Chains A and B, each alone.
Chain A
């Protein structure tokens, strides 16, 4: 008796379950599986692109988070079971993924007028979604004179106080050279030589005893807030967040900013390549690409966006004409080749 009742209840449950599972299938709703870094970027992209795209196409968007790197993607592609349709990539992964055949070649026709994109914003397998930047920031309440150039970061006479830098040769060495008078366009040419590395390290040596080294992107706003440093290297989005959400009196110096692109790419074997292409097309159009800037201080890689953007947020963007005067794009190929050998010298220098 009792067993019979359990069985019939289970059968009823099963029926309800099947009905529930069958419903979305019946509606024939497609799902675009996007994998990204999560956090503030995903929240902003959701409002700017994911939700409107899903509504306009009648599809669903499912997001998943990862920490970068192509290891997991490679495993999926090798197992011939790619569950992602679209990936948010950093530059080195966009290049590596393409070289390893883990990303599909992108049809340039999707992007419309390619001359509207900033130089370097289109790769064979990826198109840039936004631009973020490494800048230096200070606390306006604590600095009597305002620093304005990258050389000021290295001038502890005129601007006394500790300096926060990421414990990595990346960007630190570029800055040292720029502060030493190397024009942005020649930084990597100089850095490729032995003397160039020596020159950069010598420049860094002039402030070495004042440097506080950080490792995670969340540290620099904290170091500034604690007064542990007078100026610090930081990612512009983090400083923007501290300015707007926590009302910190921080200011960004854009001179010498080192910017990089963030990318969209379609993995090899994606289940719904067409939908992913549609999304890239949608999110990259002149009319939509700038909308991310409504929600986060990351800039659009299209030139026309400057006119479309909300004028109030323009001064916070890495690509605003005033901010972009002396800007350097990080050279991912250079660092992929030279990181190990330069890092050895950097570490030896650190330990001296």
Chain B
């Protein structure tokens, strides 16, 4: 091809690419605006700590060079008095107090009480006034917390999200009766892993049946997989709530059949969570396996049998290895969806079944501790990415399909 023709071809390709980009642009803008930006902002919050620096600018500056060995000098007390008065006026006092309360329960009321009772800062030396209001102001530790919270970038939330805190001698684990998050991450993985395994055991035979039946029957059966798949998650979870109750349908049937005398505890415990989540996620496993199985020719298995293999051996050694991409895809999808689960464990679970998303939501809307919620989300995102890379390494993302 002459040079001119090649250039024209490239130009045409480029304008074609630009045109497709223009078509995709609304979606890209949408994704960045409502997906990437908010997620990024939340993740940034996990290391951001503006509350105290914003409310107490003078103290933050005053404590910057303080060694922490003895009480800070009187000007710092005066700065705090002035900052508290200003913060009370502009409404930043409570968020600063709440932030400090993360370090030490009781800090919130200490700050608010002090702000209420402090005399006019112009009236004279305030150091004694502080000490009169609460003895905590005479302890260097109180001031060390303020100094620590004044830093605009903090590792504290990321530490708290794995039950660690920065003590005077480096990192320290919280006392055992206050550690929640390590156990919650472990529990989230255990529940997700169990659900994935149950889905695989239940879904694989169904997918095999659907893939090997004649198309007419297979299409009819497929309705039973597709309809739940289309139904709202909340509706399905609530349906299980009705079915699994102590006086619900399942227990009534068991009792009528004479199998049980007292109602079984089927919900408000791990059983309820596993039943609900398995049902919601099963279609993903079935469809992922079905997509792969449909493309497998039955002739390989027949050849193996005709060469003398037992049908079971032929199935295990010839058929199953060909379905590995389906198993991998289904396992990956179910596991990743399961680790973010929220509604189903909240409705069907009991005291010891809290998954990490529930704890994130709790910190977000009840405790208003967005820093900790962000830090927990950071770990959840990292764990999900790790699962993704394992999947990509062993199966390959290009094989991800659902029929």
Contacts and interface: CB of A to CB of B under 8 A. Distances in A.
Given A77-B91, A228-B246, A351-B187, A338 B180 contact: no
A78 B92 CA distance: 11
A288 B176 CA distance: 53
A100 B101 contact: no
Interface stretch (B43-51, B102-110, B120-128, B386-394): B102-110
Interface string A326-352: 000000010011111110110111111
Nearest to A74: B91
B151 interface: no
Contacts of B105: 337-338, 340-342
Contacts of A195: none
Contacts of B89: 101
Contacts of B140: none
B178 interface: yes
Interface string B276-287: 000000000000
A336 B367 CA distance: 10
A284 B106 CA distance: 34
A323 interface: no
Given A100-B91, A212-B268, A337 B180 contact: no
Of the listed residues B88, B109, B369, the one surrounded by the most CB atoms of chain A closer than 10 A to its CB is B109
Interface in A242-267: none
Interface stretch (B72-80, B206-214, B316-324, B348-356): B348-356
B314 interface: no
Nearest to B363: A340
A215 B346 contact: yes
Nearest to B367: A340
A101 B246 contact: no
Contacts of B367: 339-340
Interface residues of B, number: 36
B200 interface: no
Interface in B299-332: none
Interface string A87-125: 000000000100111100000000000000000000000
A144 B310 CA distance: 64
Nearest to A341: B105
Contacts of A181: none
Contact of B354 (A162, A211, A351, A352): A351
Contacts of A52: none
A228 B247 contact: yes
Contact of B179 (A212, A338, A339, A348): A348
Interface string A197-220: 000000000001001110100000
B7 interface: no
Nearest to B242: A226
Contacts of B176: 348
A340 B367 CA distance: 8
B351 A227 contact: no
Given A341-B178, A345-B178, A100 B108 contact: no
A228 B268 CA distance: 10
B131 interface: no
A347 B367 CA distance: 14
A281 interface: no
Given A100-B93, A213-B350, A348-B180, A227 B247 contact: yes
A257 to B, nearest CB: 24
Interface in A293-352: 333, 336-342, 344-345, 347-352
Nearest to A211: B351
A345 B177 contact: yes
Interface string A161-190: 010000100000000000000000000000
Contacts of B350: 212-213
Nearest to A162: B246
Given A213-B351, A228-B245, A336-B108, A101 B91 contact: yes
B106 A213 contact: no
A337 B183 CA distance: 25
A162 B268 CA distance: 12
B53 interface: no
Interface of A: 74, 77-78, 96, 99-102, 162, 167, 208, 211-213, 215, 226-228, 333, 336-342, 344-345, 347-352
Interface of B: 88-89, 91, 93-94, 101-102, 105-109, 112, 115-116, 174, 176-180, 183-184, 187, 245-247, 268, 346, 350-352, 354, 359, 367, 369
21 contacts: A99-B88, A99-B93, A100-B91, A100-B93, A101-B88, A102-B91, A167-B351, A211-B351, A212-B350, A213-B350, A228-B247, A337-B105, A337-B109, A340-B101, A340-B102, A340-B369, A341-B178, A348-B177, A348-B178, A351-B183, A351-B352
5 smallest CB-CB distances across A and B, nearest first, come from: A350-B351, A341-B105, A344-B178, A351-B352, A100-B91
Given A341-B178, A344-B180, A351-B180, 18 more contacts: A96-B94, A99-B94, A101-B89, A162-B246, A227-B246, A228-B245, A336-B109, A337-B101, A337-B105, A337-B106, A337-B108, A338-B106, A344-B178, A344-B179, A345-B177, A348-B183, A350-B352, A351-B354
